[in-house]
Chains A and B, each alone.
Chain A
Amino acid sequence: MTSQRALAVSYRPERSRARRTLVPAWLSRTWRRPHGAFGLVVVSIVLLAAAVSLFWTPFPLLQANTDQGWLPPSPQHLLGTDQIGRDTFSWLLAGSRTTVLVAAAATALAAVIGILLGTVSASLAPRLAEPIVVLVDIVVAFPVLLIAMLLATTFGGSILVVWVAVGIGAGVNLARIVRSEITRINASDYILASRAAGTGSFSRLLQHVLPNVAPLLAVQLSVTAGVAILAESGLTFLGYGASTTEASWGRVLADAQKYISVAPASVIWPGIVIGLTVLAINLLGDAIGEALDPRLQSGGKTDGD
């Protein structure tokens, strides 16, 4: 495959003259779109917060001061305190760690399940693919919430339950989407032309099929990541997710919700953080999907023959 590599390099000059940086082209194209830039900034902040919280939070998470309950935001307590005087900002900072971890892990699991099942079921002979399709359809029939409840009643509620439930639930949905997209691509003329050029089915999968699924995949996986964050919050809220001493955004929201009549403002912070992050991830996914599609780049069609 060295010749292929040599080719790939020799075809670049016209393009790489314009921009030669360490940043991959699709990433810099994402950055140049407003919604892509917004998504990148917010997601980076969340990732940074998660990293920082590993070493430092303004206040120890479990340090309670009952005489300092419901403090309003101040320079000391940026977002105020909760009913037993715990620092809300510290909890949200630490919560990003759990939430980011669950979202990333669930998205990764969904990606593996979705791409694997989708590709295999689209590539096999119909007779062999049928059982996979039926299995996927059966699992799709179970909502994520139901899977989480089933797992939680058996194994007890935990972050792991959230991870597995969201990963499987989103994964089978993704499998269906990937399968139909691959089926569509396999029927296209450029696959026939590639077959006539003598390519094997595996190299067609790597060189034509998967690159053409990539934009759709970027969008779908970002939606999955958003759903995973919401699911973590939702399931924790319902008691299937993070335990009461584990910091997570869903935990903060669930605790604050109990006192919504006493301190309505305390619900707003986790709500804003969750909403903003989910929005940013979805926008980022859209922008990456667009950046991966050469048809959407500038550089117009030339006229004439």
Chain B
Amino acid sequence: MNQALIQASKLTRDHPVARTRIFTPAPARRVLDNVDVRIDAGETVAIIGESGSGKSTLVRILLGLERASAGTVTFDGRDVVPGPARSLRWLRRRTGIVLQDPYSSLDPRMTVGGIIAEPLRALHVEGDHTRKVHDVLDRVGLSRERAGAYPHELSGGQRQRVAIARAIVHGPELLVGDEPMSALDVTIRASILELLAELHEDTGMGLILVSHDLGLVRHFADRVVVLKDGAVVEEGAVDLLFQAPAHPYTRQLIHAIPRLPAEGSSAGHDPTAAARRDTHSTPTST
């Protein structure tokens, strides 16, 4: 087995909760419980779970943005320890993250160009920054004139494209999307997903996509990790997962995918069969 790009073992994270009694120790809520994750280079992994399942916390720990209470993360064999910016620059050069809400993830006081150029400045990337910014604007489908605009002048979809541009401008090997579509409306969601898929195909960069919507990632991810209450309940190739979900929670998530009434075909009540039927783009699933 070759070396994983990210190897996380026994990740546990406790959030302190406001104490209600003075003499007992402050209680803690377990957000992550002994999570092991392995991500290979160039792989597309979806991390699925409902709100509060710890999926955002997990990816933030993987990127050294939050501290785990216990457990270790290694990136390409090197330990990821949260700390001063300088000590993590090597990791930042190789990763990028797109956050959920494009309305709050862009500094309202900075122009689009300044926002996108930020990783280039912070990571001391060499070369012509202006050109890199223009290239990445082309790449995400925004016109170059947008570099002078402020975030409030853009629509939600355009803002998310700016956030993606910021995450990829320095050419990372791994892009993390922390629910990058959930704050957008449906049509724009599809175009953003398409953009991410294109980026993955063109550059071969790995992709971790956090989502609560299994349906959204099924045509897209190689592998799915299902989180529930801070623990991994199921993990595996996306097709296998849809064919034979092992955990009842996964079955529940598959049931929750809204789908159009089956066109013409027999109305089987097996949800996985139904799921397979509308999978035009994954003929390998049967």
Contact = CB atoms under 8 A, between A and B. Distances in A.
A14 B145 contact: yes
A197 B166 contact: yes
Interface in B72-114: 84-86, 88-89, 92-93, 95-97, 99-101, 104-111, 113-114
A212 B109 CA distance: 7
B85 A193 contact: no
B157 A212 contact: no
Interface string A11-22: 111110000000
A208 B109 contact: yes
Contact of B110 (A195, A208, A299): A208
A189 B92 contact: no
B228 to A, nearest CB: 25
A18 to B, nearest CB: 11
Interface string A281-305: 0000000000001110001111111
Contacts of B108: 190, 212, 293-295
A14 B134 CA distance: 14
Interface stretch (A66-74, A141-149, A199-207): A199-207
Contacts of A14: 145, 147-149
A198 B65 contact: no
A212 B216 CA distance: 36
B154 A203 contact: no
Contact of B153 (A199, A211, A212, A300): A300
Contacts of A186: none
B65 A190 contact: no
Name B's interface SS: helix
B107 A194 contact: yes
Given A14-B148, A294-B152, A193 B114 contact: no
Interface stretch (A2-10, A103-111, A171-179): A2-10
A302 B113 contact: no
B104 A190 contact: yes
Contact of A199 (B109, B118, B129): B118
A192 interface: yes
A188 interface: yes
Given A3-B129, A302-B155, A305-B158, A207 B110 contact: yes
Given A3-B121, A15-B148, A196-B63, A301 B114 contact: no
Contacts of A189: 99-101, 104-105
Contact of A294 (B96, B105, B150, B163): B150
Contacts of A203: 122
Contacts of A193: 97, 99, 105-106, 163, 166
A7 B117 CA distance: 8
30 contacts: A1-B121, A3-B120, A4-B121, A11-B130, A11-B148, A13-B148, A14-B145, A189-B99, A189-B105, A192-B65, A192-B105, A193-B106, A194-B118, A194-B122, A196-B92, A198-B89, A198-B92, A198-B123, A200-B84, A212-B109, A293-B108, A294-B108, A294-B150, A299-B153, A301-B153, A302-B154, A303-B155, A305-B155, A305-B187, A305-B188
Given A11-B111, A200-B84, A212-B109, 20 more contacts: A3-B129, A6-B130, A7-B113, A7-B117, A7-B133, A11-B130, A11-B148, A12-B148, A188-B104, A190-B104, A197-B122, A198-B93, A199-B121, A208-B107, A211-B107, A212-B108, A295-B150, A301-B152, A305-B158, A305-B187
Interface of B: 63, 65, 84-86, 88-89, 92-93, 95-97, 99-101, 104-111, 113-114, 117-123, 129-130, 133, 145, 147-150, 152-158, 161, 163, 166-167, 187-188, 191
